Amino acid sequence: MRIVGVACGDEVRVASLSPDDGRLTVLAGLREFWADPEGWLARPPADGSVPVGEARLVPPVLPEAQMLCVGLNYLEHAAEGSYRDHELPEHPTLFARWTRSLTVGGAAIPVPLTEDGLDWEGEIVAWVGRRLVDADPAEALDAVVGYSTFNDVTARRAQKLTSQWILGKNADRSGPLGPMVPAGEVGDLRDGLRVRTRVNGTTVQDASTSQMIHQVGETLAHISRTLTLHPGDLLATGTPSGVGYARTPPWLLRPGDEVEVEVERLGILRNTIVGGEHRRNVPDRDSAG
């Protein structure tokens, strides 16, 4: 099963996407779905479907959802970045993405006019399915309802202006998110899923989730001790080594490039890069409440 959002006027509905014939079956309204995501995923498929080409896909994300991201969560990526000459921190480095920055596979990602290009960061997002407060790692992992392929596309110049990463991690439509696959179909990331990123067909990242420093359950539990997590919240689990800014010479995504993130059991997420002038020609957000 693949779970996506479908724009219906000013509303978003949650639908299942068949990987076999590319047809959509609407399950529920966005808020209705996230009120009981496990219940909706357990229900038998409803009658009636439409071809995916006749629908406008959007992230099935609540406008008020919290999206937290783990930085430097693979050993080799930490070594090519900020912790090359330092010990790794005991706790995960966390930053926030606004849900307004999210988009879907197939969407064009614009390069801000102040950037020389954008950087790729192929990774996995975990979706929270239950309320978590002061959770232990096992409880937190059990609350994950599904996973998606994600590309944490980054505006490096903006990111490096200060010690805080928020600006560089929230460029317009810079967070393409793949369909959600139920957790039961994915399994435990600690067992190792292959994560690969390609730029114009060239593999630039290739790693296993078994190499993560901070695992999903532990990270969600850590977060829940400070702020409450709710159904529909998202955790981006970090990217492996091979990002563009750390290469010699640096390699950034520029207009005309195609970037793909492929994750075992989750599928391929494919997007094109366009010039900054395209920021003016699309809606402010690709989701609705």
- Angle CA 246–201–172, to nearest 5: 60
The encoded tokens of residue 202 equal: 């060239």
Mean pLDDT of the 234-247 span: 96
Query: How many residues can be counted in the chain?
Result: 289
pTM for the model stands at: 0.94
Is the pLDDT assigned to residue 222 strictly greater than 90? Answer: yes
Buried b (16+ CB within 10 A) or exposed e, 139-152: ebbebbbbbbbbbb
| pLDDT tens digits, 188-216 | 999 999 999 999 999 999 999 999 999 99
| CATH number for the domain that contains residue 69 | 3.90.850.10
33 within domain boundaries: no
Is the pLDDT assigned to residue 226 strictly greater than 80? Answer: yes
207 within domain boundaries: yes
Q: Which domain holds residue 276?
A: 62-281
184 within domain boundaries: yes
Work out the pLDDT band at 242, boundaries 50, 70, 90.
Answer: very high
The count of structural domains within the chain is 1
24 within domain boundaries: no
Q: What are phi and psi of 194, to 5 degrees?
A: -80, 130
Q: Which residue has the higher pLDDT, 161 or 76?
A: 161
Buried b (16+ CB within 10 A) or exposed e, 197-214: bbbeeeebbebebebbbb
Work out the pLDDT band at 289, boundaries 50, 70, 90.
Answer: very low
145 within domain boundaries: yes
199 within domain boundaries: yes
